[in-house]
Amino acid sequence: MNGLMTTKKHILLYNSNEPLPQQGGMERVTDLLAKALLNVGYEVTLLCKYSNRLGKIYNAPTDILYFPGNKDDRCFLETLVIERNIYCIIDQTEGGIVGRFGIFRHREDFKSKVKLIAVQHNSTRAILDNYNLAFAKDFTQTRCGILKQFFYDNVFLKLKYYHSVCLTKRLYSDLNTNYDRIVTLSSSFIEDFCFYCPKADRTKLFAIPNFNTFESCKKTAGQQYVLFVGRLRNCVKGVDKLLRIWNEVEDLFPDWQLDIVGDGEDRTILEIQAAKMGLKHVMFHGFQDPALFYQRSKIFCMTSIYEGFGMVLTEAMQHGVVPMAFNSYSSVTDIIDDNINGILVKPFDEKEYADKLVSLMSDENKYKKMSHASMAKSITFSKEIIVEKWCNLIENL
CA separation for the pair 135, 331 (Å, rounded): 21
Domains of the chain (ranges, CATH numbers):
2-124+168-211+382-395 (3.40.50.2000), 225-380 (3.40.50.2000)
Confidence of residue 2 (pLDDT cuts 50, 70, 90): very low
Contact 381, 210 (CB under 8 A): yes
Give the whole-angstrom CA distance, residue 231 versus residue 296: 21
How does pLDDT run across 207-219, given as a tens digit for each residue? Answer: 999 999 998 888 8
Q: What is the DSSP letter of 297?
A: -
Model pLDDT for residues 312-352, shown as the tens digit of each residue: 999 999 999 999 999 999 999 999 999 999 999 999 999 99
Q: How far is CA 220 from the centre of its chain?
A: 23
Q: Which amino acid does the sequence have at 148?
A: K
Q: Which residue has the higher pLDDT, 83 or 52?
A: 83
* Cβ neighbours for 70, distance < 8 A, ≥ 6 positions apart: none
CB distance 170 to 196 below 8 Å: no
3-state secondary structure string across 189-241? HHHHHHHHCCCCCHHHEEECCCCCCCCCCCCCCCCCEEEEECCCCHHHHCHHH
More confidently predicted of 366 and 129: 366
Is the pLDDT confidence value at 16 over 60? yes
Please write the tens of the pLDDT for every residue from 183-197. Answer: 999 999 999 999 999
Angle at 262 between CA 261 and CA 268, to 5 degrees: 105
Residue 384 burial (CB count, 10 A): 12
Model pTM score: 0.89
Type of residue found at 182? I
> What gap in Å lies between CA 305 and CA 328, rounded to an integer?
6
Residue 1 is predicted with a pLDDT of 47
Q: Is the pLDDT of residue 6 over 70?
A: no
- Residue of 31, 47, 118 lying closest to 86 (CA atoms): 47
pLDDT in tens, 56-89: 899 999 999 999 987 789 999 999 999 999 999 9
Q: What is the CA radius of gyration of the chain?
A: 22
